[in-house]
């Protein structure tokens, strides 16, 4: 059994959600690492788009640190800018919108704006804000999210909804005319989650080696439902880890 870091497990697990040939809109942070890995392994025909405005059919020549990193632009197929890539989202051309966040609720709504009650300004702790996450999750055909997990981050209802999941439940996205299908899969620091077709509620589908359903439930603030087919996440192989580590030699993403 290979030794691996949590970030490595998450990256490799996340990449499995991307099918070869898909158009993937890649947000800032670990999604960049996942895209690089997917290109290098099972999805060489992926089409990568970034907020910075690069559209590329090949992996960046070096690991991008930001979505506006020159490495993400070098050798790209087109670099029209954010206008062009976000327009592709709005036209419904992006299969996967791949984002991160700070807090998620049971309907997959994401908070990346801050902690606390915004209207009580003195106690609100600002994070960075939406960036492109809102645009991506509104219009991407399916949303893939990578999230830290504890009881304050997996909550019944987000303190601030920056990015729409299924909002208050089934039918709400449609009522507001959103063209994207909403959240599809969440990869957390403890396990993997999918969404119930009818209730649109997030449920546990996989737990990582070393985790247990009880421990995961204790780190989730709502009454988490668990798939009857719940299983342990397949651990990365030595070969997968070798490929991944070579892509991040300084450990910027993987630690």
Q: Is 51 assigned a catalytic role? A: yes
Task: Determine phi and psi for 137, rounding to 5 degrees.
Answer: -75, -20
74 makes contact with other proteins (CB under 8 A): yes
Which of 40, 57, 58, 124 is the binder for other proteins (CB under 8 A)? 124
Which of 30, 167, 202, 220 is the binder for other proteins (CB under 8 A)? 167
- How is 105-156 classified by DSSP, letter by letter? ETT--EE-SEES-TTSGGG-EE----TTHHHHHHHSSEEEEEE--STTTEES
DSSP 249: T
Nearer to other proteins, 73 or 203 (CB): 73
Which of 1, 3, 123, 223 is the binder for other proteins (CB under 8 A)? 123
Residue 83 Cβ, how far from other proteins at the closest point, in Å? 6
Identify the CA nearest to 127 among candidates 180, 163, 173.
Answer: 163
79 makes contact with other proteins (CB under 8 A): yes
Site string for other proteins, 175-214 (x = CB under 8 A): xxxxx-----------------------------------
Stretch touching other proteins by CB under 8 A, among 11-19, 39-47, 113-121, 229-237? 113-121
Long-range (24+ apart) CB contacts under 8 A made by 61-69 are 63/32, 63/33, 63/36, 63/247, 63/248, 63/252, 63/253, 64/32, 64/36, 65/32, 65/252, 66/28, 67/26, 67/27, 67/28, 67/32, 67/132
Which of 41, 66, 189, 227 is the binder for other proteins (CB under 8 A)? 66
248 makes contact with other proteins (CB under 8 A): no
Which of 80, 169, 212, 231 is the binder for other proteins (CB under 8 A)? 80
Q: How many Å apart are CA 231 and CA 204, to the nearest integer? A: 9
Query: Among the options 8, 17, 22, 51, which is catalytic?
Result: 51
Stretch touching other proteins by CB under 8 A, among 11-19, 146-154, 156-164, 220-228? 156-164
Break the chain down into helix, strand, coil percent, rounded to 5.
25, 25, 50
Q: Are 120 and 130 in contact (CB under 8 A)?
A: no
176 burial (CB, 10 Å; 0-12 / 13-18 / 19+) is exposed
Which of 52, 60, 183, 236 is the binder for other proteins (CB under 8 A)? 52
Stretch touching other proteins by CB under 8 A, among 127-135, 200-208, 217-225, 231-239? 127-135
Return residues touching other proteins (CB under 8 A).
28, 51-53, 65-70, 73-74, 79-84, 86, 89-90, 113, 118-119, 121-135, 138-139, 160-164, 167, 172-173, 175-179
């Amino acid at each position: 059994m290979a030794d691996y870091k949590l970030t490595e497990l998450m990256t490799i697990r996340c990449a499995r959600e991307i099918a070869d040939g898909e158009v993937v809109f890649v947000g800032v942070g670990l999604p960049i690492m996942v895209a690089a890995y997917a290109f290098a392994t099972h999805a060489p025909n992926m089409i990568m788009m970034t907020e910075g405005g690069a559209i590329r059919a090949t992996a960046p020549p070096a690991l991008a640190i930001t979505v506006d990193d020159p490495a993400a632009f070098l050798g790209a197929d087109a670099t029209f800018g954010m206008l062009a890539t976000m327009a592709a989202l709005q036209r419904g051309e992006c299969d996967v919108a791949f984002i991160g966040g700070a807090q998620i609720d049971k309907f997959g709504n994401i908070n990346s704006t801050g902690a606390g009650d915004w209207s009580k300004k003195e106690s609100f702790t600002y994070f960075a804000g939406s960036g492109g996450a809102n645009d991506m999750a509104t219009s991407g055909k399916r949303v893939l999210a990578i999230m830290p997990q504890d009881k304050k981050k997996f909550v019944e209802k987000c303190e601030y909804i920056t990015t729409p999941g299924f909002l208050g439940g089934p039918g709400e996205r449609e009522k507001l005319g959103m063209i994207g299908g909403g959240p599809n899969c969440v990869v957390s620091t403890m396990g993997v989650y999918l969404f119930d077709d009818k209730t649109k509620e997030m449920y546990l589908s996989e737990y990582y080696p070393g985790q247990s359903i009880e421990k995961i439930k204790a780190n989730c603030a709502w009454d988490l439902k668990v798939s009857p087919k719940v299983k342990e996440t397949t651990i990365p192989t030595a070969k997968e880890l070798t490929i991944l580590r070579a892509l991040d030699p300084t450990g910027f993403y993987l630690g």
